Structure 1
Amino acid sequence: MKNKNVLGTAGGLAVLLLVFIGCGEKSGEKEYGKAMAAWKSGELVKAQTLLEKAIKKTSGNENKSAAWNQLGLILWDLGKVEDAADAFNESCVLADTITSANLNLGIALFHAQRFDDAEMALNNVLGKDPLNHTALAMMGLIAAQKQDWTGASRAITASVKVNPQSAAGRTALALTELQRNSGNAIKQLESVLSAYPDYAPAAFNLAVIYEQTLGDKNEAVRWYNHYLGQAGENGSHVDAASQAIARLSAPRAATPSGSDPVAARRHYADGIKLLTAENFNAAIRSFEQSIQAAPNQKDAHYNMGYAYFKLGQYNEAANAYRGALQLDPQYADARYMLCYSYFKLRKWSDAEREANALAQIDKARGEQMLQHISDNRKR
């Protein structure tokens, strides 16, 4: 059996979704053997081509199903999530008794954000194996995506009971606490790292919580660095962690000549022009340059947040609005947009907290947001 560790993301957080279960030798065909050798050596495109040829020559539903399952694993490694889901589905159609294919299908569909389809595939797994801890954990993650925190906690708790030694399960369980009590989530993740010091995803999760939920840049950078140290160069979130460290460290880096108000104003003016032209990515770069030249510009942070918001990058928008509020806690527009960003992320507790804070400085808009949150969190 070939095991693959798979990382999934949910609202920026990384959860190890246990294992992808591959298949051993089946048909003995030349192309299949070459495909497996190419996969193991990291030649993924070559492995895909060879396995597609092998599938055409393979006879018998069981063997063909196993080959489709293996192709799905290769496509997954290539980052082709939708294609991987299609391959796993072909495997299930040919031999629906293969639990691993249904499990892989459910995981791939989850990553493709096809949550209802993923739930159906995972229910097929649990119908045959009610104690499959991977499927239970996945069902919990789907419930979390649907904001059903009680259901998420119930499913992931069941998974951990089946496999109490699973660092992945305990990490997922900690994340279900995040919407209720970020302090408890942090304590549980630290407990995971105490028991499993080399389990990198728990460190990444801690970094994301400190950055996106608590706005603590120093702790976020510390945990991102911890993740990089544990994950090595092949970690699934190495790029994201490295970019986060650069982003969070940049405002503290002094320019050789110190603050440069002239350059700051120039970059800010460029950013406003680009924002007006709806060239949002370029606008973000200009606002970043303006902030680097003179960090204490609340409007630069605010408008950078607005550009991120227009791109649908609500976590990044929230980070920018928090930057503006650190400079001016009474900045009502920034408070409103921070609340709205959390609303878009369906982080109801955070949105409600910011709406209450907004009501202290802008009663009408604060109460309007509180009503909006109340109406939508019931759906």
Structure 2
Amino acid sequence: MIYNYDVVVIGAGPIGGYLSKNLSELGHSVLLIEEHAEIGRPFQCAGLVNPGAMEKVNLEETALTRIWGARLHSPSGSFIEIGDPSITRTWSVCRKLFDEQVVIQSIKSGTDLWLSSNPISAVVKEDYVDLIINVDGSKTEVRTKLLCGADGAHSWVRRYFKMGRPKEMMIGLQIEVTGYESQDGRLELFTGDNISPGFFSWAIPSGDTTRIGVWSKPNLLGEESCENFLNNLMNNSPWKNKFSECKEVGRFCGPVPSGILKKTMIERVALFGDAAGICKPTTGGGIGPGFKQVDILVPLLSKAISDNKLSNKKMIQMSNSLNEMKRNHRRKRALRDAFLTEVSQEELDNIFEIWSRPEVIKLINELGDIENPIPLGLRMLKDVPEFRKFAKKAAMAILWG
């Protein structure tokens, strides 16, 4: 038996679920493929969902903690506190529940879901893509007008069609612990070359537990592992006492792809979310930008699917609608490099001294946005002269992208 669908989406994470839901709501027949036997496993990120993304799916009931602020620690051990309890900055969610509910929304919209399934081969024909799917050990043929890869950092679709690699591939390690005492609603970020070179470590309150993690780029890790840096944070840092009562109850290690691919769409094939390198270079978050990518492309793809006009030329034309996102990612990366990744520990301590000024804290609270740090970065360059020396190399990218 051959199954026929307008769209096949590989990967039933939040991006795949949201993409499927939007396409189904527009009247397209959609098949969602997930290699695991259940949704939301394995757990794969810090579990933060920004207010804009949450509003798109209305799943506040999956939130474990409302995050309204942060305590940022310098390499030398000083800190600043930012945030306003009346303003939600992000949500710390139960990722299993969140992922499940997004997929349930998709199913209610008409999407078919196959679990314990993965693609084996795909051949692009003139009018469709011919797929062979391994469904719980049996080979099944599926034909679709459009194949979408929302299958994560190790995307089978991206690799199978040789669509390139993200500009950056960071590595992250996160553990979930009990016994960490933190202010409810405020996450903590820690900096220093001995705990997260060029980046930061975090402690995110998540209901009765806390998610503690580190991330960096492989070339900055040297011969050390993320686990070594996490051990340094918890046992050999100025903040080690914070972790003395922690007991690990879970862990996850994985890549964080950032830098949208040059080729996200080819004839009858499109990449979404982590598969397309959509993660933010500043925080590694992928749900917000992934949802935004779906919102940009689905209206264009819907018409092309209805007309069955999905040539390479047409797909490239549609992918150009992501150019502004690519530009914003370049600017965000430039800001990150200027104020974190490419500065010395001494320079970072100096940056914290400037940040600690009341007028700068006020500016951060007014303009700070986890999803879009560019307005704050531009304002700081304008109003805080000391910042300009840190941003000389990044100035053109920040201003012009």
What TM-score do the two structures reach when normalised by structure 2?
0.26
Greater percentage in helix: 1
Greater percentage in strand: 2
What TM-score do the two structures reach when normalised by structure 1?
0.27
- Larger RCO: 1 or 2 (CA < 8 Å, sep 6+): 2
